[in-house]
Structure 1
């Protein structure tokens, strides 16, 4: 009974901690959808993979959200047809490379400023490398969820330029309500699909009036819809994280943290299990600073915001499971390599 109470308390704490940042990400996502000229936005994004990865990885300074809020923003960018390196860089680096998290890390590790600098550098390096790696994939359709793929295929026919190297055959058209996604009912010409291409095209052709009050109404409806979709996934992810925290004693994880390699692996596992928001995880890591090496503390601070149990559920709204496993493996290997160098040569 005590374990059940503990799991429920952890579940509520994770949910309460994450929900404001999910709401912030959904609001930013809606702003991109309704109030930003997507053609100008996409045209302004660099097409060079390296430059696009760097710009996307630094996007946290414009969208200072944690790992629960950056996923809706990255998904919206992909839906709008943004270059892949920009979206992947934002997805991985924004939870760490943003002014709120940098300031919180500085407050926690004021006596160890190298932790702050290395956390930002390692997060940027990993995000840029993986974003460039994804840009080498000529066709991302096998890695993306069908809803994201369909929207990007629509964008590939826009004047901005093709995002796929080969143009696929046109999919068979189905009645609107037989397709997956969200729709506005009660429109004069039938249900209207709630995605960037349909909505902005409808505004341009006059199907939706352009006055600000109407845009605000649609913005609110879109926010509620995305909160229902992503919020449900967040609830499931938080429940899984709470069960794991109760079922796996932390003493077992901590007991592994003596060696240069095992300490890193233990802190990476701990980061994935506890699923703490990136804005406060530095204070949690500070509690282990007298026991664990600097490299293992960095592993916790770098790996956790990119991959944790709570965020995996949200990532399933963008990527297929195989792509998430791919991301998980890449982030884990790069984090282990960089932090092991710190343990072996600078500790």
Structure 2
């Protein structure tokens, strides 16, 4: 009974700390989706591979989406002919390089500010390096799913932004197939011209404020239902592991420089908790695991996890997803091991 009480107390403490940040993340994402013209921002993306990967990684600061919301945007970026380094940099970094996640991490690890700084630097570096590596593939289409590859312009002649047709009823490029808003339970609204008939560049931005606020409220409620369920499950798993798994096993794994990093990377991939609240999950292991392994959890989880694997397969073929997984895992392990040995 004592163990059950301890687990329940830890479970409630994780929820109380994390829910405000989940709410802020959902609200901020919805506001940017419905009130900011993404197409104008996309037009400014550079074509230089290394610079493009860096800018794409930093773009997450303007679009604070989790590891589910970044996939539809990255897919549309590729289909519009934006260079692969930009899209892949955004895909890997957006769930971490955004103000909500940085704030949540600071709140959880205010006693270890180096974890906050290193999480940002490592995530940014890994996303930039992986995006730059993918630029070596001149034609990315062999690595993409057929529907995505067929929609891309040829590598010999990419479509200029000035050439994109400005049809009277056209929706913005990032708000077409592949991007959705949640509506009634179990239903979604497709963000395309059928939903937002407009005359101008941005469909969502041009709708009346009252209509957009109504959509924002509906989307917020439904996202909180779905993401809140994931948060509850993740908090329950964290509390159960801390209380039910024998302390000796946790300490034997958690105190090993290499085993602890690998264990936390595997846990991050399996638990698949949202990046908005994963810092509070990791904090529950702070007394048992090394700082390097906690950093590995915070860096690797938002990039690759089981929850996002199916979404990634909607863009890439399995071998490309494997490349992303292997590169992200290898770089995360190397960076966090260096920090662990130097700490």
**In structure 2, distance between residues paired with 1:257 and 1:199:** 50
**In structure 2, distance between residues paired with 1:118 and 1:181:** 33
In the superposition, relative to structure 1, how do residues 181 and 341 fare at CA in structure 2: closer, same or farther (>3 Å)?
Answer: closer
Q: Does 1:311 align with 2:308?
A: yes
In the superposition, relative to structure 1, how do residues 257 and 181 fare at CA in structure 2: closer, same or farther (>3 Å)?
Answer: closer
Match of 2:323 in 1: 326
Are the aligned partners of 1:260 and 1:293 in contact in 2 as well (CA < 8 Å)? yes
Match of 2:5 in 1: none
Are the aligned partners of 2:25 and 2:64 in contact in 1 as well (CA < 8 Å)? no
In the superposition, relative to structure 1, how do residues 159 and 340 fare at CA in structure 2: closer, same or farther (>3 Å)?
Answer: closer
TM-score (norm 2): 0.67
Match of 2:44 in 1: 44
Aligned equivalent of 1:270, options 267, 272, 278: 267
- Point out where structure 2 has 5 or more consecutive residues left out of the alignment: 1-14, 16-20, 164-176, 180-190, 219-225
> 1:132 is paired with a residue of what secondary structure?
helix
Deviations, residues 198-251 of structure 1 (Å, cap 9, x unaligned): 999x979xxxx9x9559x99xx99xx9xxxxxxxxx99xx7xx98xx79x9783
**In structure 2, distance between residues paired with 1:296 and 1:337:** 11
- CA RMSD after TM alignment: 4.7
In the superposition, relative to structure 1, how do residues 41 and 100 fare at CA in structure 2: closer, same or farther (>3 Å)?
Answer: closer
Q: Does 1:110 align with 2:107?
A: no
In the superposition, relative to structure 1, how do residues 149 and 18 fare at CA in structure 2: closer, same or farther (>3 Å)?
Answer: farther
TM-score (norm 1): 0.67
Residue 44 of structure 1: how far off its partner (Å): 2.1
**In structure 2, distance between residues paired with 1:296 and 1:134:** 27
> 2:63 is paired with a residue of what secondary structure?
coil
**In structure 2, distance between residues paired with 1:274 and 1:181:** 25
Residue 257 of structure 1: how far off its partner (Å): 2.4
Number of aligned residue pairs: give it. Answer: 293
Q: Does 1:93 align with 2:54?
A: no
In the superposition, relative to structure 1, how do residues 322 and 276 fare at CA in structure 2: closer, same or farther (>3 Å)?
Answer: same
- Point out where structure 1 has 5 or more consecutive residues left out of the alignment: 1-12, 163-179, 183-193, 225-233
Residue 30 of structure 1: how far off its partner (Å): 7.7
**In structure 2, distance between residues paired with 1:265 and 1:53:** 27
Residue 48 of structure 1: how far off its partner (Å): 0.7
**In structure 2, distance between residues paired with 1:60 and 1:295:** 24
